Structure 1
Amino acid sequence: MNSPGVQPVVELKGLTRSFEQGGVRIDVLRGVDLTVRPGEIVALLGPSGSGKSTLLQAVGLLEGGFGGEIVIAGHSAEKSDPHARTILRRKHLGFVYQFHHLLPDFDAVENVVLPQLVAGTPRGEAEDRARQLLSALGLEHRLDHRPSQLSGGEQQRVAVARGLANRPALVLADEPTGNLDEATSDRVLGEFLALVRGEGSAALIATHNERLAARMDRVVRLHEGLLE
């Protein structure tokens, strides 16, 4: 997993991010260095407000304004135009958020099919992939249910399947079980980690929960804008 010579999935070099608030400069990230290698599951630990979501937005190429360098699968994001950055994000990255953001008028399979269609996957192949992922997460009997017909844990399982649908090299997850009770959180996280490992993806998972972080391969801590 950490063999020398293996190209990292993501490299952050001196990443910085600052905001102006009420005329005061706030340095959220102050020079973050991080390498995540293929197949590695890394917990990004820190309290609320520490900048975890900002760091994930940077890695996910979701907004600008960052200093330093972001390299995704060997490609420098800073040297890429907006179209190339979109291709990088679509080809290499998957996302799972604290709130599932499922499309309410589509069933579980359709929610997992849609990102695959955007990426150019034929519909039949996309539907097979969706059913396989959802079944791996224990939802084989809920495939045609819409989000409103699913429990919170089931909704988040669909979101996990959607995040992995396009076989991303790296899954970015921001408090992916933070909206669930403890027992459901434990189950969903276990299924999430097992699926990520089974797919051979890497993951960077933001959490404030030490107990959940301990289940991952490596823990990095964000403190005062730097990783420890």
Structure 2
Amino acid sequence: MSEVLKLTGLTRAFEQGGVRIEVLKGIDLSIMPGEIVALLGPSGSGKSTMLQAVGLLEGGFGGRIEVAGQDASAMNGDQRTDLRRSSIGFVYQFHHLLPDFTAMENVVMPQLVAGHAQGEAEGRARELLGALGLSSRVTHRPNQLSGGEQQRVAVARALANRPRLVLADEPTGNLDEATADRVFDEFLRLVRESGAAALIATHNERLALRMDRVLRLHEGRLHYEPAPNEQVGNSE
């Protein structure tokens, strides 16, 4: 079984006021199918920068990025876009739903872009929205949904094309604690059921302990921490 994500020597630096700032300093990481990994770190530690690299959202990175067995570092822009559409799903802190489209249409849209037929896309959207408790809300637009419901739609959209890799950047950071717990539970359940790999950036230590593995980004480098079950065992 091969890695869904493999990073080798990933680097990123910026020039600011004539000063070179190294944000990522040679990141190595492998994530296997079905594995959900927490990426911890305070604001400004580079978590979002790392996810932008892994998600093939911008250039300027050094090192090697392999997604679903394909070397994205060697691809041109169009090839990276195709790989991103076919293999990667995103959930952000703010839902970024299209305001003029219903919940159903927001989940259908990325499937149509990926080349799926309308009927197939609508069936998949109903399946996911139903699994997230939104069967009665499929015709509602974002401004007619609560914050938790909006984020559930964003989760459904991220999983619509059955991605091999799911990336999430503070996916419940904009919700109150009770709503965040419910949405996060549903998110983890659907990701696990899909068999996808996931890398979830958060500053929430409590949520991180519910994942399979915990990484901490500090001063541009990854630090591996004991698995959550090992931490629990050590505390007894």
Q: Give the TM bin, normalised by the shorter chain.
A: over 0.9
Unaligned runs of 5+ in 1: 1-5
Question: 1:178-227 CA deviation, whole Å, 9 max, x = no partner?
Answer: 00001100110000000111111111000001000001111111010000
CA apart distance, 1:74: 1.3
SS at match of 2:116: coil
- Aligned-residue Cα RMSD (Å) equals 0.6
Query: Which of residues 209, 218, 226 in structure 2 aligns to 1:223?
Result: 218
Aligned residues between the structures: 223
Cα distance in 2 between the residues matched to 1:113 and 1:41: 25
CA apart distance, 1:141: 1.0
Query: Which of residues 161, 165, 176 in structure 1 aligns to 2:160?
Result: 165
Match of 1:39 in 2: 34
Amino acid at match of 1:152: G
Query: Which of residues 110, 114, 118 in structure 1 aligns to 2:113?
Result: 118
* 1:92 matches 2:83: no
Cα distance in 1 between the residues matched to 2:22 and 2:77: 25
Cα distance in 2 between the residues matched to 1:67 and 1:92: 21
Matches within 5 A, 1:40-119: 40-119=35-114
Unaligned runs of 5+ in 2: 224-236
CA apart distance, 1:59: 0.3
Cα distance in 1 between the residues matched to 2:117 and 2:84: 20
CA apart distance, 1:83: 1.4
Cα distance in 2 between the residues matched to 1:98 and 1:19: 24
Cα distance in 2 between the residues matched to 1:111 and 1:223: 36
SS at match of 2:42: coil
Percent of aligned positions with the same letter in both sequences? Answer: 74
Amino acid at match of 1:87: D
Match of 1:128 in 2: 123
Amino acid at match of 1:98: Q
**Larger CA deviation: 185-194 vs 69-78:** 69-78
Amino acid at match of 2:15: E
Question: 1:160-187 CA deviation, whole Å, 9 max, x = no partner?
Answer: 0000000000000000000000110011
Amino acid at match of 1:179: N
Amino acid at match of 2:198: A
Match of 1:195 in 2: 190
Question: 1:83-104 CA deviation, whole Å, 9 max, x = no partner?
Answer: 1111111111001100000011
**TM-score of the superposed pair, with normalisation by structure 1:** 0.97
* 1:11 matches 2:6: yes
Amino acid at match of 2:145: L
CA apart distance, 1:142: 0.7
Amino acid at match of 1:112: V
* 1:205 matches 2:206: no
Amino acid at match of 2:141: R
Match of 1:28 in 2: 23
SS at match of 1:163: helix
Match of 1:140 in 2: 135
